[in-house]
Structure 1
Amino acid sequence: MNQYYRLTIGCLFLLSACQESTQEAPVQRAKHNKLTLVNDSPKSPPQVFSIDTTAILTNLHLEEILKKIEQDSLIESRKVSSIPPIISSFLKHYGGPSFSIADYGQPFNATDNIIEERSNRQLLYLGVGKKTIIIAYYLGGFGLSERVLLFEMDNNSIKDFWTGYLRSDALTKNQIIQVLRTNRNRNWGTNTNILYF
């Protein structure tokens, strides 16, 4: 019985690792490379933004962004239509053309039992300020997880970006900040070794 239990737990860990690597196309597997976003929104000039995966996976700028979020006054929403165009462009670029998020409370694919016409994400929190933006959402698949994306903005341009797990239901600005600060120094507390949205 004890041997069976260990084998079952081991299989679950393997399945979880496989799910993480096959779920959505990862943003970047190499820790030291940068990816480039060209904002092709007709209302904004083209913008080049590079994701520094090493900085994200090591939480290098996380505390700086959290302090800026604390100081910024955010307009909160639970509607996907309230996501600013530059951020929508970013999400489509890195998440692929099929990237979508359902509004808070709307049906979505929360498990690996896929209903094609639904998104596999559901918005939990959107906070838009003059200098920062927070997006938190559920990501479905083999297991349901809560993702968070933090942006530092400068005149409708992305200046810095961080993403990770919340690992608990956080539905307000202060809850998100508290959960990230509590888990940021734990091994795989806010990220694994791969970035995906």
Structure 2
Amino acid sequence: MPPPETPLTPARILEATEDVLRRYGPAKATVVDVARALGVSHGSVYRHFRSKTALREAVTERWLDQEHDSLSRIARAKGPAADRLEDWLLTLFAAKRRKAGVDPELFATYLELATENSEITARHVETLIDQLTTIVESGIASGEFTMRDARATGRALWDATARFHDPVYAPRWSDPDMDPAFAAVCELLLDGLRAR
């Protein structure tokens, strides 16, 4: 008796889509390619995802969510806010660098969606700014930081560090001057936040 067929689930479709995107890139990958990789009709894929865009966004959202958990743990951890902020920024930069280097096709998909101002990337950015705000709030509460508006400060930190997380800068992330530049920006930002 042959083994039972694995049911077609959104998770299986997303895994297959990631493989197809890696193989063909975001410009050439199609829903038909995904269906072929799964051994099903493209209509079966459309039952779970209404369009190629919805499928691509779901893959990107899943891919982006992988960094949310580790960054969220840092934001909620105990300890000095300055140390957590530096750790958070370093972890984000390392994750973005790794994704750009290890998974260039999915990173290209993310860049396309970011360029399109996708709702997925907007939610991703807001989630990360929320985490920065959490760190700043704890720094204000402990007297470590002197800022008055934690949300505005979180957004300013996001904007000030764009060179180290915005995908348009990815081609420069492997430059030899990136690490010293990152360290200098972190030092400047942390010094500006500290209570005098």
Please give the range of the TM-score, normalised by the shorter of the 2 chains: under 0.3
TM-score, structure 2 as length reference: 0.28
More helix by share: 2
- What TM-score does the superposition give when structure 1 sets the normalisation length? 0.28
